Amino acid sequence: GAGVSQSPSNKVTEKGKDVELRCDPISGHTALYWYRQSLGQGLEFLIYFQGNSAPDKSGLPSDRFSAERTGGSVSTLTIQRTQQEDSAVYLCASRSRRETQYFGPGTRLLVL
């Protein structure tokens, strides 16, 4: 079946603008994760949704970052008033009941 998809694949924006990144998880997967991957660094956990439970937002770096998941499926990560240090690849992953997380191709964000 279809894997995790993300859009846009690339996004260039100006400092101070807001951006929205979208993730479509694998159908039926109840858990959804957002990670950030900066050049030369490991994946950094941002936020985690599990079913109808309150999301785990412990990894969000500032209050400029927020995410929602509508209807237990599609998720949107929003970054307000973008800064140059927000430039990174933003990866989404989903998981079924088993342990393995399946990643999407990522959105490459460049803030000028």
SS3 64: coil
User: Would you give the binding string for another protein spanning residues 2-41, x where CB under 8 A is met?
Assistant: -xx--------------------------x-x-x----xx
Shortest distance (Å) from residue 86 CB to another protein: 19
Which range binds another protein by CB under 8 A, 12-20, 21-29, 44-52, 68-76? Answer: 44-52
d(CA 98, CA 37): 24
Terminal Cα distance for the chain, rounded: 37
Residue 100 in contact with another protein, rule: CB under 8 A: yes
- 112 touches 87 (CB < 8 A): no
CB count within 10 Å of CB 83 equals 12
H helical segments located in the chain? none
- Which of 7, 20, 45, 67 binds another protein (CB under 8 A)? It is 45
Binding site for another protein (CB under 8 A): 3-4, 31, 33, 35, 40-45, 48, 50, 56, 59, 91, 95, 99-106
